[in-house]
Amino acid sequence: MIITGIITAAALGLGLSLPKRWGIWGFLGAAALLFLTQVAIHTAMGFEGTPLSESLLLFNDSWGAYIGFNLQITYRAFALPLLALAAPLIYRFAK
């Protein structure tokens, strides 16, 4: 929950400071950067706070399954940061 709050605050800051001339490509790049940052944080923290080695045991030592699981968790939690990025940017584009 704290990670989502931090990523949301960063998204809001990016939405307010992203140059308008970058347009949709800047928005997509910022969204991808925030998403991958959140995935990396979830992956590095381990499953439910357990060490990384124990987390991998839960996924049969499969990095692909572990990273895929973290991608899925991040995908489900990314709506609020995406809204925080898009709302100020759309407002600035409308002006």
Handedness of CA 80, 49, 45, 63 (dihedral sign): negative
Q: Report pLDDT digits (tens) over 36-85.
A: 999 999 899 888 878 888 888 888 989 999 999 999 999 998 999 999 99
pLDDT at residue 12 greater than cutoff 90:
yes
| pTM across the whole model | 0.87
Per-residue pLDDT at 9: 94
- Give the ranges where the chain is alpha helix by DSSP (H): 2-17, 23-45, 52-58, 63-77, 79-94
